[in-house]
Amino acid sequence: MIDLHTHSLFSDGELIPSELVRRAVMHGYRAIAITDHADFTNVEHILKNIRKAKYLEEVMDIKVLTGVEITHVPPAKIEKMARLSKELGAEIIVVHGETSVEPVAEGTNNAAVEIPEIDILAHPGFITVEEAEKAAENNVYLEITARNGHNRTNGHVARIAFEAGAKCVVDTDTHSPGNLITRDTALKVAMGAGLTLKQAEEILNNSQNIVDEKYQ
């Protein structure tokens, strides 16, 4: 299992990074990105602390990526925020997409998929074909999520992504210990979005491709 969207207590998660990573190892994770909620007020604090979790790679068989989830930042400021995050050392940049269960500003999806520095558009809700086509062009991955609430539109996201030729990943958006899943469960999440087993396996492989790129 590779999970590129999780949270620690440096935002609204329940676990310190060491426990989050340890529990991920017990679920069979090979890589995890800690992507706490960030905006211009806290991004330095998050990245300074999360990068310290890389010490765990020395003693556990798992890769630990430093990241952020750009959250509720006005669309016009997302590009600047993404570039700042990259400059500060973020290896994975996720944008909190226009989920159907939160008041995310209209235009967030469109702004995110136009920015090559963005790795993943999380739980993008009722994303349009045009936005998915931009995601494909700029190599921004669309998330199929295991998180309750956000996963209401997984079927729509998967259908639009395949129609537009955009790549997807499966992530958990973990906030608490019970949110972590196994690879088998991740396959079921993807298949629950209407994908075949072969398509689901391809999506899980996309996460490995992202990790390989970061560790070149």
Alpha carbons 79 and 2: distance in angstroms, whole number: 26
Which residues, 6+ apart, have CB-to-CB distance to 213 below 8 Å? none
Give the pLDDT mean for 103-124: 98
Give the pLDDT mean for 168-194: 98
Other beta carbons less than 10 A from residue 8's beta carbon: 24
pLDDT above 80 (res 35): yes
Angle between helices 154-164 and 183-192 (to 10 degrees): 80
Other beta carbons less than 10 A from residue 41's beta carbon: 7
Reading the block at residue 66, the tokens are 């430093």
pLDDT of residue 68: 98
Query: Residue 111 carries which side chain, given as an amino acid letter?
Result: A
Give the pLDDT mean for 2-13: 98
pLDDT of residue 29: 98
Nearest to 98 by CA among 78, 81, 117, 82: 78
Which DSSP string do the residues of 38-91 spell out, in sequence order?
E-TTTHHHHHHHHGGGGGGGGTSSSEEEEEEEE-S--HHHHHHHHHHHHHTT-S
Residue with the two structure tokens 């604090």: 45
pLDDT above 80 (res 149): yes
Average pLDDT, whole number, for the chain?
97
Nearest to 92 by CA among 205, 185, 5, 206: 5
pLDDT of residue 83: 98
Element spanning 150, H or E = none
Q: Is the pTM of this model over 0.95?
A: yes
Give the pLDDT mean for 179-198: 98
Reading the block at residue 145, the tokens are 């999520």
pLDDT of residue 12: 97
pLDDT above 80 (res 180): yes
Which DSSP string do the residues of 164-179 spell out, in sequence order?
HT--EEEE--B-SGGG
The per-residue pLDDT for range 51-84, each reduced to its tens digit, is 999 999 999 999 999 999 999 999 999 999 999 9
Alpha carbons 187 and 207: distance in angstroms, whole number: 13
pLDDT above 80 (res 145): yes
- Say if CB 213 and CB 163 are below 8 A apart: no
Alpha carbons 164 and 95: distance in angstroms, whole number: 20
- Say if CB 181 and CB 189 are below 8 A apart: yes
Q: Which domains does the chain have, with CATH numbers?
A: 2-214 (3.20.20.140)
pLDDT above 80 (res 216): no
